[in-house]
Amino acid sequence: MKQRKHPKALPYLFLSEMWERFGYYLMIGIFTLYLKDANQGFEMTEAESASLYGTFIALVFFTPFIGGLLADRVLGYRLPIVIGGILMGVGYCMMGVHSFSMLYSGMILVIAGNGLFKPNISTLLGNLYNNDEHRDQKDEGYNLFYMGINIGAFACNIVSAFLINKYGYSIAFVGAGIGMFVGVVVFLLGNKHYTGGDVKKVSVPGEKPWWIDLMIVVVPAILFAVIGYFINGVPSETNEHSFLVKDDVTDAFLFACIPVIFFFGYVLFTSPKNERRVVSAILVVCIAVIPFWAIFKQNGTVLTTWANNYTNRDVPNSMKNGLKSMYLADVIDYKKSDEPTPVLDKHFRKVGEEEAIQYPSYFKNYERTPELKEKDQVVVFNTNIFQSVNPFWVIVLTPLIVGIFRFLRLRKLEPSIPIKFVLGLFITGLSCLVMVQAANASMNGEMKSSYWWFFGAYGVITVGELCLSPIGLSMVSKLAPARLTALLMGAWFISTSIGNKLSGVIASLWDQYDDKSSFFMLNFYLMMGATLILIVLLPWLLKVFREQKK
């Protein structure tokens, strides 16, 4: 059997997304470290940085609903991708300017730019696989596309380590912007190959104008967000500001989701009868993966904190001189600080407002501390380097997973999309158990754990990720009615957005857990609950998906 080639546009979209993700993951890999840094950043607490991180990445994945709708009905797909890429590149550069106004302005540009870029490059790719020649290669195409994402996500953290060690955080953010601009240039070079996929949807008789759909969602969402921000619960000693959930911003986001949920309910119940079952199945799957994102997106908060404070980051002796000379390793001096710094307890939490002259916090649970002498140096991997572990596993495992599914497909044994989702949720839950064992092996943070626990946890969660994330994009593109493709792609990104915000809410609880293994068990229970719910719905989902193949 002759192996068919993929569309000619795939390499350009692959490289465009690779460079776009290079910029995004470089920025997000240093985001909470920058917020918490006392010298170059804003000296935020763990809870403050986790909350802002969760809100930021939630909004980053909320705006694709709007960008997808505009592209679907008005702009086509190519123009929003270019505009969105430019906005993100400028936003990354602005975030490196050390002021809250520039930080927030840059974040707003990134949020808006991602809304234009992210859903439309995914939809454009899917459209190019909608002809008879390439239709059954769509899952494979999205997996290859997903590998491009992770090549960028892997390389960016090595580059950012160099930029931070040599120049500081500000230049690292500029590096993210440059990566985004390169992605835009690559996309423009492949422009002629996108024609077949850049097709605006044709309105059907009786269908509302696009701007009405936009107003039905966006205006109520903004109104509800304002209500959520200012509405107060019952004040108490532990809740002085009387927020309802975690903080006022979280209340605002959750309230904003209410009209969005009602909108998709409206889309479902006003769909023609022959479309209603598949639309409901797609929406159910979108809801089911929210817990996955709530766990997976803790890579920028809890797992970054684990790498920074609880992981032995020592560089092997054979690599120390080389990495130091290339500015790819951090050097921590064993000497007391020149100025008073906040006192931390054994779990790196600030103890009141007390400050003292003390050694760097890395040495609090470092097993070699007793043998160190004043002004000794320890050469360690930068914390953000550990953000490359997940994309490393994606790059390694994607060909294997694609090969296994192709082998099964040729023998008509490939698991259906709902079964892949169940497997993905279950395997993600198992990764939480690896971190439970990491916490136990480190005696609950009394000593630093081996970074091999980190590699193991990410290896497991990556298998779950590959059964979920690229398959989800393919599912919407493959099964959604043509007139609803952008809306339902928006539903997928909104479910990601909600999961991202919940990841920040859960991560903000980190300091409240004295037993860190209990925190990871909380994640495990959340994933197992989502898995069981999807298993219960599996017979119905399988029936709906089989009907769509006929």
**CA pair distance 337, 291, nearest whole angstrom:** 41
Task: Look at residue 87 and tell me whether its pLDDT is greater than 90.
Answer: yes
Burial of 493 (0-12, 13-18, 19+ CB in 10 A): buried
Predicted pLDDT of residue 374 = 92
Backbone angles phi, psi at 332, to 5 degrees: -110, 120
Predicted pLDDT of residue 202 = 62
CA 216, 217, 218 angle in degrees (round to 5)?
Answer: 110
Residues contacting 139, CB < 8 A, separation 6+ = 405, 470, 471, 474
**pLDDT digits over 340-377, tens only?**
888 888 899 888 777 888 899 999 999 999 999 999 99
**CA pair distance 120, 70, nearest whole angstrom:** 10
- The whole model's pTM is what? 0.88
Predicted pLDDT of residue 201 = 66
Residue with tokens 């840059």: 106
Least confident of 110-124, 283-297, 466-480, 528-542: 466-480
Least confident of 102-111, 373-382, 456-465, 468-477: 468-477
Query: If you average pLDDT over residues 516-538, what whole number do you get?
Result: 96
Backbone angles phi, psi at 336, to 5 degrees: -70, 150
**CA pair distance 264, 273, nearest whole angstrom:** 16
Backbone angles phi, psi at 213, to 5 degrees: -55, -40
Task: Show the tokens assigned to 401.
Answer: 């997973």
Query: If you average pLDDT over residues 134-156, what whole number do you get?
Result: 83
**CA pair distance 385, 313, nearest whole angstrom:** 10
Least confident of 18-22, 92-96, 394-398: 394-398
**CA pair distance 71, 65, nearest whole angstrom:** 10
**pLDDT digits over 250-272, tens only?**
889 889 989 988 888 988 998 88
Predicted pLDDT of residue 439 = 96
Least confident of 125-139, 370-384, 393-407: 125-139
Predicted pLDDT of residue 1 = 41
Query: If you average pLDDT over residues 399-419, what whole number do you get?
Result: 88
Q: Work out the percent of the chain whose per-residue pLDDT is above 70.
A: 95
Predicted pLDDT of residue 12 = 95
Query: If you average pLDDT over residues 471-492, what whole number do you get?
Result: 77
Q: Please state, rounded to an integer, the average pLDDT across all residues of the chain.
A: 89
CA neighbor of 479 nearest in space, from 275, 265, 205, 289: 275
SS3 377: strand
Are 277 and 415 spatial neighbours (Cβ–Cβ below 8 Å)? no
Are 525 and 532 spatial neighbours (Cβ–Cβ below 8 Å)? no
Predicted pLDDT of residue 85 = 97
Task: Show the tokens assigned to 497.
Answer: 């957005």
Are 86 and 524 spatial neighbours (Cβ–Cβ below 8 Å)? no
Predicted pLDDT of residue 75 = 86
**CA pair distance 437, 330, nearest whole angstrom:** 27
Single-letter amino acid, residue 380: V
- Cα 113 to Cα 80, 82, 272: the distances in Å are 9, 9, 33
Task: Show the tokens assigned to 430.
Answer: 């198992």
**pLDDT digits over 31-68, tens only?**
999 999 988 999 898 888 998 999 999 999 888 888 88
Task: Look at residue 422 and tell me whether its pLDDT is greater than 60.
Answer: yes
Predicted pLDDT of residue 103 = 97
For the chain, the farthest-separated pair of C-alpha atoms sits apart, in whole angstroms, at 79
Task: Show the tokens assigned to 355.
Answer: 């400050």
**CA pair distance 185, 441, nearest whole angstrom:** 47
Task: Look at residue 240 and tell me whether its pLDDT is greater than 80.
Answer: no
